[in-house]
Chains A and B, each alone.
Chain A
Amino acid sequence: MRLERRDETSRLALALAPLLAVAFTLGVASLLVRWAGAPVGRTWSLMFAGAFGSVFALAETLTRATPLMLTGLAAAVAFRARLYNIGAEGQLYAGAIAAVMVGGLHGGASLTVPTALLFAATMAAAALAGALLLLGPALLKSRLGVDEVVTTLLANFIVLLAVSALLDGPMKDPLAMGWPQSVALDPELELGRLIERTRLHTGLLAAIAAAVLLWALLRFTVWGFDIRATGANSRAAAFAGVPVGWTVVRVAALSGGLAGLAGAIEVAGRTGYVTLDMSPGYGYGGIVVAMLAGLHPLGVIAASVFVAGVLVGADSMSRAIGVPTYLADVMVAVALIAVLVAGLFARWRLRWR
């Protein structure tokens, strides 16, 4: 039995890959549910209901999907250029802190600025913070050949500690009664609700817009061609005149910027301020989302809703029948591996001897 390369990537297999992955994931997760001693059928129905079963549940799921969509886009565009950005978690927090610094503390100044301008500045600061954070590892990779996976991973730890220091010190909210949380964002900057009495905010629309824009960028622009060519074969791209070094810088800015925006939108839409636990691993979740979406920006929309559904549904299910919520983490990890394997069959055919 061996693998034989296909002449043409099978579009059917490529489209089926995420579905097969999801099916496999459900299978493995069912075994884990049995181990926990819970009834499998009821577990899944509770999970589905908790994620999509009511307007409130759906709103919760979409709320969680919003940052996942943005970190998913960040991962997708970076991975397309073979820049393995594993630092979205840190970039998200950096963006959140930057947002509060501009939109809450106003950078220490006390000018009166029109709200729209302040909002734009807040978002721009967040994107910039995320972009700069990824730029370092990206340049280290293109100039010195330092593997960006390790540097971005280590940077996550550094950023979180830095945020913790800021929350203990200069950015601490004096009214928060001892909990480490930041000064709040100006209330006028907070995003409006899409559905009354839920947490779903207009950030979702921004995320979807970002997905569409990224898709258009990759498909129709020269910049998009540069990204795809660099990721597929950087030597051939350089030969054809693609400015590979500059492309890596632009991709880093774009990817880091998207992750930073994820942080800012979380602050502006959901929490209003920064805490150390505001991201339950959205950065890493974004990677899974990107892989499930086959690195396709429009696919990220669906994949992020799926992963968010798993997270939200597991929370709700866990409260009801006590299967640990970590089931969601296991499912997300299994889905990643499964989609990796399933995607193989789009490019390779299995031959029996």
Chain B
Amino acid sequence: MARAEPARGAAGPPVLEIVEISKRFGALQANDRISLTLHRGEVLALLGENGAGKSTLMSILFGHYRADAGHIRVAGRPLAPGDPRAAIAAGIGMVHQHFALADNLSVLDNVMLGSEPLWQPFTRRRAARERLRALAGRFGLPVEPDALVRELSVGERQRVEILKALYRDARILMLDEPTAVLTPQESEALFTVLASMVAQGLAVIFISHKLGEVLRVSHRIAVLRAGRLVAQAPASECDPARLARWMVGHEIDEREAGPAGSPGETVCALRGVVTAPDARAGRERLRGLDLVLRAGELVAVAGVSGNGQRHLAELLCGVRAADGGELRLGDEPLRADPAWLVSRGVARVPEDRSAVGLVGELPLWENALAERLRTPEFARGGWVRRAAAREQAERVLRAFDVRGAGAGSSARALSGGNMQKLILGRALMPPPGAPAPRLIVAHQPTWGLDVGAVDFVRGRLLQARDQGAAVLLISDDLDEVLAMGERIAVMHDGRIVGDRSARAWSREAIGLAMAGGGDAARAA
């Protein structure tokens, strides 16, 4: 692994000083007296697991939030808190994890916003276009200024995000989990751009939870845990084990998939499945997807998000109907009907737990029973059998360790991890007398969770597999795919472009397949 060049301006006065920043959200202390410095030409990595407080700190720096205590100095001058305008004027630029771009406007519009005074009765578009092209060339970020953002790929959108900051003369650039949506090859391209920026005197803060990248790209690494800065060291003195220990506070054993039995009968088969793109949701679709899921086998689907994973998940969860091809569950055709799927033993874990998985306003017990309310055990003649329903709900909450304010409290109050446990519990734990699920569809089940919750979720998925269920795990996170899948299928442009056992894949080959190259011809 090549290490980054030593920072040139690292000896000079700090370009950014964060002093004793603290921030509380309700009962959660998101940042607790954090102090950091940053120098010109330096890449500082901010490492920590989900929920450690990295994004909060960056949002405070950029003025999205106001700190409760502490202050910030840029090039020696105090920074006015809570105002993105002040941050931009001071030379701070932020590349958000979820891009702050307007789909219906052009690249140029998105970049120019806020760069001219509001009282001006005209805009200087030609000059702006020239300047944008010059910047793009200088830093190696090619874009088409008059293209509409909604027509751009994810990688291209990220380039626009970066150019937005550079256009406003950012001297300090913060990137929040920039490689989460990129292929390995695109990530490499990004690292080259970062090196070029640093060589030209910018300072970069790189937020990530991926140890490998952080060691590769940064000069110095700062580790956050539960809102506190627990360690800071030059990258050359760190190794993955040490960083992991700092991140989590104790030794962690990366959960391995463990020995799998031999897969049993086919539980679900998709052949030539086609879906049409949604009117206003980009170009994602399926173009003839083939996939076979067998009992007792965990298939992990890798790929950059936006290549059809959402459609695949929605098909198997019953919220979307295919526009062509064949889908079978056991020996019946698969129906786009959630209640039918649940009755046939399909356990579903959606990507967006708070917007799709649960109804926030309703109490926990109603959420826990939502999928099964139309069955005779829990409803009779249209009337809900409340006692039976609450009993089953309590069972699920207990078995899956869902910590909240009781079965009658609203789902909105749950933390992300507990929401996921509830969704998992309701899917994996049928009422007594009903059969165990035979197919589990999990879409990004560990996104945004802390290490403890991630471990819990993965453990339950593996347990279900060991009990004979077919498990489909769709994940953006290549590390997760490699750790969990005994068979790995790669999606690109609406098809499965590679489907083999995990041992037959290398990280590089998967990266190539994710980008559409390499073994694109081989399908399962």
User: Using a CB–CB distance below 8 Å, which chain A residues touch chain B?
Assistant: 4, 7-9, 220-223, 225, 228-229, 232-233, 235-242
A350: min CB distance to chain B, Å = 14
Bound Cα distance A242, B338 (Å): 8
Let me know if B357 is at the binding interface, CB within 8 A: yes
Let me know if B362 is at the binding interface, CB within 8 A: yes
| Complex contact B338–A232 (CB within 8 A) | no
Task: Decide: A232 near B359, CB < 8 A? Known: A221-B384, A222-B382.
Answer: yes
Let me know if B356 is at the binding interface, CB within 8 A: yes
Bound Cα distance A240, B356 (Å): 9
Residues of A within 8 A of B342 (CB): 241
Let me know if B145 is at the binding interface, CB within 8 A: no
Task: Decide: A238 near B319, CB < 8 A? Known: A4-B26, A9-B410, A222-B373.
Answer: yes
Residues of A within 8 A of B318 (CB): 241
Bound Cα distance A225, B383 (Å): 10
**Other-chain residue from B357, B374, B412, B413 in contact with A239 (beta carbon distance below 8 A):** B357
B454: min CB distance to chain A, Å = 23
| Complex contact A239–B379 (CB within 8 A) | no
| Complex contact B374–A7 (CB within 8 A) | no
B47: min CB distance to chain A, Å = 29
B12: min CB distance to chain A, Å = 36
**Other-chain residue from A4, A7, A240 in contact with B413 (beta carbon distance below 8 A):** A7
Which 6 residue pairs of A and B lie closest in terms of their CB atoms, listed nearest first? A241-B338, A240-B370, A241-B339, A232-B361, A7-B413, A233-B359
**Other-chain residue from B26, B338, B361 in contact with A7 (beta carbon distance below 8 A):** B26
Bound Cα distance A7, B382 (Å): 32
A-B contact number at CB 8 A: 73
| Complex contact B409–A8 (CB within 8 A) | yes
User: Using a CB–CB distance below 8 Å, which chain B residues touch chain A?
Assistant: 26, 317-319, 337-339, 342, 348, 350, 355-362, 366, 370-371, 373-374, 379, 382-384, 386, 405, 409-410, 412-413
Residues of B within 8 A of A222 (CB): 373-374, 379, 382-384
Residues of B within 8 A of A235 (CB): 355-356
| Complex contact B382–A8 (CB within 8 A) | no
Show 23 residue pairs from A and B whose CB-CB distance is below 8 angstroms, ordered by the A residue.
A7-B412, A8-B410, A9-B410, A220-B383, A221-B382, A221-B383, A222-B374, A222-B384, A223-B382, A225-B373, A229-B359, A229-B370, A233-B355, A233-B360, A235-B355, A236-B355, A236-B359, A240-B338, A240-B371, A241-B337, A241-B339, A241-B342, A241-B371
| Complex contact B338–A239 (CB within 8 A) | yes
Q: Which residue of A lies closest to B409 (CB)?
A: A8
Bound Cα distance A239, B356 (Å): 7
| Complex contact A237–B410 (CB within 8 A) | no
Q: Which residue of B lies closest to A217 (CB)?
A: B382
Bound Cα distance A235, B337 (Å): 14
Bound Cα distance A242, B358 (Å): 12
Residues of B within 8 A of A7 (CB): 26, 405, 412-413
Task: Decide: A220 near B386, CB < 8 A? Known: A8-B405, A232-B360, A236-B356.
Answer: yes
| Complex contact A232–B382 (CB within 8 A) | no
Residues of A within 8 A of B339 (CB): 241
Residues of B within 8 A of A239 (CB): 317, 319, 338, 348, 350, 356-357
A202: min CB distance to chain B, Å = 28
Bound Cα distance A238, B320 (Å): 10
Bound Cα distance A222, B257 (Å): 41
Residues of B within 8 A of A8 (CB): 405, 409-410, 413
Residues of B within 8 A of A236 (CB): 355-359
Residues of A within 8 A of B360 (CB): 232-233
| Complex contact B370–A241 (CB within 8 A) | yes
B23: min CB distance to chain A, Å = 13
Q: Which residue of B lies closest to A231 (CB)?
A: B361
B255: min CB distance to chain A, Å = 28
Bound Cα distance A8, B350 (Å): 25
B32: min CB distance to chain A, Å = 19
A275: min CB distance to chain B, Å = 40
